[in-house]
Amino acid sequence: MSRHLDAFLDRLPPGADILELGCGGGTDAAHMIARGFAVDPTDGVAAVAAKAQARIGVPVRVMRFDELDGVGCYDAVWAAGSLLHVPRGDLIEVI
């Protein structure tokens, strides 16, 4: 679990809707769900998304940053470590 996750979650209202970009194996998503948050986990790699889905029992969408179409749908976005995979020149547009 990311060392900053609990501090992030402590700032949100109970049951907040969280978009997780790049959920990897689902460790952070599992923790968010255990804490009572509604998580929409995503990952850009189908095999990784499948592993996360098997772990957390919640559908994991295969999606890249530029495929996000929800505006105003979430209370927060968790993207721990996943932004490292975005080319530096694309960061402003992604964020």
Q: What is the DSSP string of 41-86?
A: EEES-HHHHHHHHHHHSS--EE--GGG---SS--SEEE-TTGGGGS
pLDDT of residue 2: 82
Q: Which amino acid is at 10?
A: D
Q: What is the rounded radius of gyration, in angstroms, for the C-alpha atoms of the chain?
A: 13
From the list 73, 80, 74, 76, the residue with the least C-alpha distance to 11 is 76
Domain regions of the chain by residue span: 5-80+88-94
Question: Sorting pLDDT into bands at 50, 70 and 90, what band is 47?
Answer: very high
* Mean pLDDT computed over 26-34: 97
Q: Give me the architecture of the 5-80+88-94 domain, per CATH.
A: 3-Layer(aba) Sandwich (3.40)
| pTM of the predicted structure, to 2 decimals | 0.87
pLDDT of residue 56: 96
Burial class, 69, CB count within 10 angstroms (exposed 0-12 / middle 13-18 / buried 19+)? exposed
CA distance 7 to 73: 22
